[in-house]
Amino acid sequence: MNDTQAVAKPSPKKTIQGILEGQAFKEAVARALPKHLKPERFIRVALTAMTRTPKLMQCTQESLFNCLLSLSAFGLEPDGRRAHLIPFENRKQNTVECTLIVDYKGLAELAMRSGVVSNLHADVVCENDVFEYDLGQIKKHVVDFRKDRGEMYAAYAICRFKDGTEKCEVLSVNEVESVRGRSRAGQSGPWVSDFREMAKKTAFRRLSKWLPLSAEFRDATEADDDAPAIDITPRSLVATVPQFEISGGEPEPAPETPTPRTSPPEDAKAEAAAGLAPEPGVAKSPQDELAALVIIKGFTFDHFNKWGVESGNIQDGLTCFDDVPKAVAVRLLKAQTGLLNGLKMAKGEA
Protein backbone atom coordinates (compact mmCIF):
# COMPACT_ATOMS: atom_id res chain seq x y z
CA MET A 1 0.00 0.00 0.00
CA ASN A 2 1.54 3.38 -1.02
CA ASP A 3 1.19 6.70 0.76
CA THR A 4 -1.73 7.84 -1.38
CA GLN A 5 -3.65 4.68 -0.55
CA ALA A 6 -3.01 4.86 3.17
CA VAL A 7 -5.85 6.17 5.25
CA ALA A 8 -4.92 8.03 8.42
CA LYS A 9 -6.70 6.77 11.52
CA PRO A 10 -8.60 9.43 13.44
CA SER A 11 -7.08 10.27 16.81
CA PRO A 12 -9.08 8.70 19.62
CA LYS A 13 -11.13 10.97 21.85
CA LYS A 14 -9.86 11.42 25.37
CA THR A 15 -11.54 9.90 28.39
CA ILE A 16 -12.49 12.07 31.36
CA GLN A 17 -9.46 10.76 33.25
CA GLY A 18 -7.25 11.64 30.30
CA ILE A 19 -8.67 15.16 30.23
CA LEU A 20 -8.18 15.65 33.97
CA GLU A 21 -4.56 14.54 33.65
CA GLY A 22 -3.99 16.59 30.50
CA GLN A 23 -1.97 19.79 30.28
CA ALA A 24 -4.90 21.97 29.13
CA PHE A 25 -7.00 21.23 32.21
CA LYS A 26 -3.98 21.56 34.50
CA GLU A 27 -3.29 25.03 33.12
CA ALA A 28 -6.95 26.07 33.49
CA VAL A 29 -6.98 24.95 37.13
CA ALA A 30 -3.63 26.59 37.85
CA ARG A 31 -4.96 29.95 36.65
CA ALA A 32 -7.86 29.77 39.09
CA LEU A 33 -6.29 28.17 42.18
CA PRO A 34 -4.96 30.34 45.01
CA LYS A 35 -1.23 30.10 45.68
CA HIS A 36 -1.57 27.74 48.65
CA LEU A 37 -3.00 24.96 46.45
CA LYS A 38 -1.11 23.09 43.73
CA PRO A 39 -2.92 21.94 40.54
CA GLU A 40 -1.37 18.47 40.79
CA ARG A 41 -2.96 17.86 44.19
CA PHE A 42 -6.31 19.31 43.09
CA ILE A 43 -6.42 17.00 40.05
CA ARG A 44 -5.44 14.00 42.17
CA VAL A 45 -8.31 14.73 44.60
CA ALA A 46 -10.70 15.13 41.64
CA LEU A 47 -9.67 11.73 40.26
CA THR A 48 -10.23 10.20 43.70
CA ALA A 49 -13.75 11.71 43.72
CA MET A 50 -14.43 10.03 40.35
CA THR A 51 -13.32 6.69 41.79
CA ARG A 52 -15.50 7.17 44.87
CA THR A 53 -18.56 8.14 42.80
CA PRO A 54 -18.30 6.36 39.39
CA LYS A 55 -21.49 7.96 38.08
CA LEU A 56 -19.62 11.27 37.86
CA MET A 57 -17.97 9.79 34.76
CA GLN A 58 -21.39 9.95 33.06
CA CYS A 59 -21.86 13.67 33.71
CA THR A 60 -21.92 16.19 30.89
CA GLN A 61 -18.67 17.90 30.01
CA GLU A 62 -19.92 21.40 30.80
CA SER A 63 -21.39 20.60 34.22
CA LEU A 64 -18.44 18.50 35.41
CA PHE A 65 -15.67 20.89 34.46
CA ASN A 66 -17.63 23.98 35.52
CA CYS A 67 -17.96 22.46 39.00
CA LEU A 68 -14.26 21.62 39.16
CA LEU A 69 -13.17 25.06 37.94
CA SER A 70 -15.59 26.71 40.38
CA LEU A 71 -13.99 24.79 43.22
CA SER A 72 -10.52 25.75 42.04
CA ALA A 73 -11.57 29.43 42.05
CA PHE A 74 -12.87 29.04 45.62
CA GLY A 75 -9.63 27.33 46.64
CA LEU A 76 -11.48 24.18 47.77
CA GLU A 77 -10.99 20.55 46.82
CA PRO A 78 -13.74 18.00 45.92
CA ASP A 79 -12.72 15.88 48.89
CA GLY A 80 -16.20 14.86 50.10
CA ARG A 81 -15.67 16.77 53.35
CA ARG A 82 -15.60 20.45 52.43
CA ALA A 83 -17.16 20.10 48.98
CA HIS A 84 -19.18 17.40 47.22
CA LEU A 85 -19.65 16.57 43.54
CA ILE A 86 -23.09 14.95 43.10
CA PRO A 87 -24.34 13.42 39.81
CA PHE A 88 -27.88 14.60 39.13
CA GLU A 89 -30.16 13.07 36.47
CA ASN A 90 -31.74 15.68 34.23
CA ARG A 91 -34.57 13.62 32.77
CA LYS A 92 -35.82 16.45 30.58
CA GLN A 93 -32.50 16.60 28.74
CA ASN A 94 -31.79 12.87 29.19
CA THR A 95 -28.39 13.72 30.66
CA VAL A 96 -26.50 13.40 33.93
CA GLU A 97 -25.26 16.73 35.31
CA CYS A 98 -22.66 17.37 37.97
CA THR A 99 -23.95 19.28 40.99
CA LEU A 100 -21.63 21.15 43.36
CA ILE A 101 -22.44 21.38 47.06
CA VAL A 102 -20.03 23.35 49.23
CA ASP A 103 -20.18 21.84 52.71
CA TYR A 104 -20.49 23.84 55.92
CA LYS A 105 -16.82 23.12 56.66
CA GLY A 106 -15.83 24.50 53.25
CA LEU A 107 -17.89 27.66 53.82
CA ALA A 108 -16.32 28.06 57.26
CA GLU A 109 -12.85 27.83 55.73
CA LEU A 110 -13.70 30.59 53.24
CA ALA A 111 -15.11 32.74 56.04
CA MET A 112 -11.94 32.40 58.12
CA ARG A 113 -9.90 33.60 55.14
CA SER A 114 -11.79 36.91 55.18
CA GLY A 115 -9.69 38.25 58.05
CA VAL A 116 -12.63 39.62 60.10
CA VAL A 117 -13.73 36.39 61.81
CA SER A 118 -12.03 35.00 64.92
CA ASN A 119 -14.22 31.96 65.59
CA LEU A 120 -17.07 30.01 64.01
CA HIS A 121 -19.26 27.31 65.47
CA ALA A 122 -22.32 25.40 64.26
CA ASP A 123 -24.27 22.60 65.89
CA VAL A 124 -27.63 20.89 66.04
CA VAL A 125 -29.95 21.02 69.05
CA CYS A 126 -31.57 17.80 70.25
CA GLU A 127 -34.41 16.99 72.62
CA ASN A 128 -32.18 16.12 75.59
CA ASP A 129 -29.84 19.10 75.22
CA VAL A 130 -30.12 22.20 77.41
CA PHE A 131 -30.59 25.09 74.99
CA GLU A 132 -31.52 28.70 75.63
CA TYR A 133 -32.03 31.29 72.89
CA ASP A 134 -33.26 34.77 73.74
CA LEU A 135 -33.44 38.09 71.85
CA GLY A 136 -31.14 36.97 69.08
CA GLN A 137 -28.50 35.50 71.38
CA ILE A 138 -27.65 31.91 72.26
CA LYS A 139 -27.39 32.00 76.03
CA LYS A 140 -26.61 28.34 76.63
CA HIS A 141 -26.15 25.01 74.89
CA VAL A 142 -25.17 22.09 77.10
CA VAL A 143 -24.83 18.52 75.79
CA ASP A 144 -24.63 15.49 78.09
CA PHE A 145 -22.68 12.96 76.03
CA ARG A 146 -23.28 10.25 78.64
CA LYS A 147 -26.80 9.75 77.32
CA ASP A 148 -28.61 9.76 74.01
CA ARG A 149 -29.27 13.30 72.77
CA GLY A 150 -32.63 12.42 71.22
CA GLU A 151 -34.14 13.75 68.01
CA MET A 152 -32.81 16.93 66.45
CA TYR A 153 -35.22 19.87 66.53
CA ALA A 154 -33.03 22.86 65.56
CA ALA A 155 -29.68 23.91 64.13
CA TYR A 156 -27.65 27.05 64.68
CA ALA A 157 -24.48 28.84 63.64
CA ILE A 158 -22.59 31.50 65.58
CA CYS A 159 -19.80 33.82 64.48
CA ARG A 160 -17.44 35.75 66.76
CA PHE A 161 -15.66 38.68 65.12
CA LYS A 162 -12.19 39.93 65.95
CA ASP A 163 -13.68 43.02 67.60
CA GLY A 164 -15.45 40.77 70.15
CA THR A 165 -18.99 41.09 68.77
CA GLU A 166 -21.11 38.06 67.87
CA LYS A 167 -23.88 37.15 65.45
CA CYS A 168 -25.94 33.95 65.39
CA GLU A 169 -28.76 32.30 63.44
CA VAL A 170 -31.10 29.53 64.65
CA LEU A 171 -33.35 27.40 62.40
CA SER A 172 -36.00 24.87 63.36
CA VAL A 173 -35.83 21.41 61.79
CA ASN A 174 -38.92 22.31 59.73
CA GLU A 175 -37.09 25.32 58.30
CA VAL A 176 -34.13 23.10 57.41
CA GLU A 177 -36.45 20.60 55.73
CA SER A 178 -38.03 23.44 53.77
CA VAL A 179 -34.59 24.36 52.39
CA ARG A 180 -33.95 20.71 51.59
CA GLY A 181 -37.27 20.54 49.72
CA ARG A 182 -36.11 23.36 47.44
CA SER A 183 -32.68 21.82 46.88
CA ARG A 184 -31.87 20.22 43.56
CA ALA A 185 -29.90 17.54 45.42
CA GLY A 186 -32.30 17.20 48.36
CA GLN A 187 -32.99 13.51 47.78
CA SER A 188 -29.39 12.36 47.34
CA GLY A 189 -25.83 12.88 48.50
CA PRO A 190 -25.09 14.54 51.86
CA TRP A 191 -28.73 15.55 52.41
CA VAL A 192 -29.42 11.81 52.78
CA SER A 193 -26.15 10.52 54.28
CA ASP A 194 -25.25 13.50 56.52
CA PHE A 195 -28.45 15.40 57.29
CA ARG A 196 -27.17 16.97 60.51
CA GLU A 197 -24.09 18.33 58.76
CA MET A 198 -26.32 19.81 56.06
CA ALA A 199 -28.53 21.33 58.79
CA LYS A 200 -25.46 23.05 60.27
CA LYS A 201 -24.50 24.27 56.84
CA THR A 202 -28.00 25.64 56.23
CA ALA A 203 -27.86 27.63 59.45
CA PHE A 204 -24.40 28.89 58.56
CA ARG A 205 -25.51 29.96 55.09
CA ARG A 206 -28.40 31.91 56.65
CA LEU A 207 -25.94 33.53 59.07
CA SER A 208 -23.52 34.39 56.24
CA LYS A 209 -26.00 36.88 54.78
CA TRP A 210 -25.23 39.13 57.75
CA LEU A 211 -21.44 38.84 57.53
CA PRO A 212 -19.11 41.32 55.76
CA LEU A 213 -17.17 38.67 53.88
CA SER A 214 -15.15 38.32 50.69
CA ALA A 215 -16.47 38.07 47.12
CA GLU A 216 -15.36 34.44 46.79
CA PHE A 217 -17.36 33.57 49.91
CA ARG A 218 -20.43 35.27 48.44
CA ASP A 219 -20.02 33.26 45.24
CA ALA A 220 -19.86 30.00 47.20
CA THR A 221 -22.82 30.70 49.49
CA GLU A 222 -25.23 32.50 47.18
CA ALA A 223 -24.58 30.22 44.19
CA ASP A 224 -24.52 26.93 46.11
CA ASP A 225 -26.48 24.25 44.29
CA ASP A 226 -28.79 23.78 47.27
CA ALA A 227 -30.74 26.38 45.34
CA PRO A 228 -32.03 24.61 42.23
CA ALA A 229 -30.61 25.07 38.75
CA ILE A 230 -28.07 27.82 39.46
CA ASP A 231 -24.84 28.14 37.47
CA ILE A 232 -22.10 28.16 40.09
CA THR A 233 -19.22 29.08 37.79
CA PRO A 234 -17.73 32.45 38.86
CA ARG A 235 -18.41 35.02 36.14
CA SER A 236 -14.69 35.68 35.77
CA LEU A 237 -14.24 32.08 34.64
CA VAL A 238 -17.11 31.82 32.17
CA ALA A 239 -15.01 32.93 29.20
CA THR A 240 -12.01 30.81 30.20
CA VAL A 241 -13.62 27.38 30.61
CA PRO A 242 -11.92 25.19 27.98
CA GLN A 243 -14.11 23.00 25.79
CA PHE A 244 -12.69 19.55 26.48
CA GLU A 245 -13.65 16.63 24.25
CA ILE A 246 -15.14 13.62 26.01
CA SER A 247 -15.88 10.23 24.48
CA GLY A 248 -18.58 7.74 25.35
CA GLY A 249 -21.52 10.11 25.53
CA GLU A 250 -24.68 9.63 23.55
CA PRO A 251 -25.93 12.54 21.45
CA GLU A 252 -28.81 14.45 22.99
CA PRO A 253 -32.15 13.53 21.43
CA ALA A 254 -33.69 16.08 19.11
CA PRO A 255 -36.67 17.90 20.67
CA GLU A 256 -39.98 16.44 19.70
CA THR A 257 -42.32 18.56 17.62
CA PRO A 258 -45.65 18.75 19.45
CA THR A 259 -48.64 17.49 17.53
CA PRO A 260 -51.25 20.23 17.09
CA ARG A 261 -54.49 19.57 18.92
CA THR A 262 -57.84 20.15 17.31
CA SER A 263 -59.68 19.99 20.64
CA PRO A 264 -58.69 20.23 24.33
CA PRO A 265 -57.53 16.93 25.91
CA GLU A 266 -59.80 15.25 28.40
CA ASP A 267 -57.59 16.21 31.35
CA ALA A 268 -57.73 19.86 30.29
CA LYS A 269 -61.54 19.71 30.18
CA ALA A 270 -61.59 18.14 33.63
CA GLU A 271 -59.22 20.79 34.97
CA ALA A 272 -61.41 23.55 33.59
CA ALA A 273 -64.48 21.95 35.17
CA ALA A 274 -62.66 21.73 38.50
CA GLY A 275 -61.58 25.35 38.28
CA LEU A 276 -57.90 24.35 38.02
CA ALA A 277 -57.10 25.54 34.52
CA PRO A 278 -54.67 28.49 34.57
CA GLU A 279 -55.53 31.86 33.13
CA PRO A 280 -54.53 32.33 29.46
CA GLY A 281 -50.84 33.13 29.15
CA VAL A 282 -50.09 32.10 32.78
CA ALA A 283 -47.76 29.12 33.29
CA LYS A 284 -49.04 26.46 35.65
CA SER A 285 -46.82 25.75 38.67
CA PRO A 286 -45.83 22.19 39.72
CA GLN A 287 -48.13 22.61 42.72
CA ASP A 288 -51.03 23.43 40.38
CA GLU A 289 -50.23 20.40 38.21
CA LEU A 290 -50.09 18.21 41.30
CA ALA A 291 -53.45 19.54 42.51
CA ALA A 292 -54.99 18.96 39.07
CA LEU A 293 -53.70 15.39 38.92
CA VAL A 294 -54.99 14.51 42.40
CA ILE A 295 -58.44 16.05 41.91
CA ILE A 296 -58.93 14.75 38.36
CA LYS A 297 -58.24 11.22 39.63
CA GLY A 298 -60.99 11.57 42.22
CA PHE A 299 -59.00 12.35 45.36
CA THR A 300 -58.89 15.31 47.75
CA PHE A 301 -56.14 17.23 49.47
CA ASP A 302 -56.99 15.34 52.68
CA HIS A 303 -56.23 12.03 50.92
CA PHE A 304 -52.98 13.47 49.59
CA ASN A 305 -51.99 14.91 52.97
CA LYS A 306 -52.73 11.66 54.80
CA TRP A 307 -50.67 9.58 52.38
CA GLY A 308 -47.86 12.15 52.15
CA VAL A 309 -47.35 12.47 55.89
CA GLU A 310 -47.59 8.71 56.56
CA SER A 311 -45.13 7.91 53.75
CA GLY A 312 -42.73 10.70 54.70
CA ASN A 313 -43.03 12.46 51.35
CA ILE A 314 -44.33 15.70 52.87
CA GLN A 315 -44.25 17.34 56.29
CA ASP A 316 -47.22 17.46 58.62
CA GLY A 317 -49.01 20.79 58.86
CA LEU A 318 -49.57 21.61 55.18
CA THR A 319 -52.97 23.17 54.52
CA CYS A 320 -53.15 23.18 50.71
CA PHE A 321 -51.27 22.13 47.59
CA ASP A 322 -49.55 25.52 47.42
CA ASP A 323 -47.71 24.62 50.65
CA VAL A 324 -46.00 21.64 48.98
CA PRO A 325 -42.34 22.52 48.20
CA LYS A 326 -41.79 22.92 44.47
CA ALA A 327 -39.06 20.24 44.33
CA VAL A 328 -41.35 17.75 46.11
CA ALA A 329 -44.23 18.49 43.71
CA VAL A 330 -41.93 17.93 40.71
CA ARG A 331 -40.68 14.65 42.16
CA LEU A 332 -44.20 13.36 42.83
CA LEU A 333 -45.35 14.30 39.32
CA LYS A 334 -42.51 12.19 37.95
CA ALA A 335 -43.59 9.23 40.10
CA GLN A 336 -47.31 9.31 39.37
CA THR A 337 -47.84 5.54 39.63
CA GLY A 338 -46.55 5.42 43.20
CA LEU A 339 -48.45 8.57 44.08
CA LEU A 340 -51.78 7.30 42.77
CA ASN A 341 -51.33 3.90 44.43
CA GLY A 342 -50.65 5.68 47.72
CA LEU A 343 -53.72 7.88 47.30
CA LYS A 344 -55.87 4.79 46.72
CA MET A 345 -54.61 3.32 49.98
CA ALA A 346 -55.28 6.60 51.80
CA LYS A 347 -58.82 6.62 50.40
CA GLY A 348 -59.31 2.95 51.27
CA GLU A 349 -59.54 1.65 47.70
CA ALA A 350 -56.59 -0.71 47.96
Same domain (yes/no): 52, 179: no
Number of domains in the chain: 3
Residue 196 and residue 132 share a domain? yes
pLDDT in tens, 157-203: 999 998 889 999 999 999 999 988 888 778 877 888 889 988 998 99
What does the pLDDT average to over 283-289? Answer: 71
User: How far apart (Å, rounded) are the C-alpha atoms in residues 201 and 120?
Assistant: 12
The pLDDT of residue 111 is above 50 = yes
Query: Does residue 84 lie in a domain region?
Result: yes
Is the domain of 63 the same as that of 34?
Answer: yes
Model pTM score: 0.49
Q: Is residue 150, in this structure, part of any structural domain at all?
A: yes
* Structural domain containing residue 43: 12-100+215-251
Q: What is the pLDDT of residue 276?
A: 44
- On whether both 303 and 175 belong to a single domain, the answer is no
208 shares a domain with 126: yes
C-alpha 281/C-alpha 286 separation (Å) is 16
Q: Higher model confidence: residue 39 or residue 321?
A: 39
Please, which pLDDT band fits residue 287 given cuts at 50, 70 and 90? confident
Residue 108: inside a domain, yes or no? Answer: no
| C-alpha dist (Å) from residue 162 to 115, 117, 136, 207, 338 | 8, 6, 19, 17, 54
90 or 262: which carries more pLDDT confidence? 90
β-strand partners of 160: 119, 166
Does one domain contain both 133 and 162? yes
* Interval 193-230: pLDDT, tens: 889 988 998 998 888 878 766 666 666 665 554 543 33
Higher pLDDT, 34 or 93: 93
Residue type, 277: A
Asked whether residue 107 is domain-assigned, the answer is no
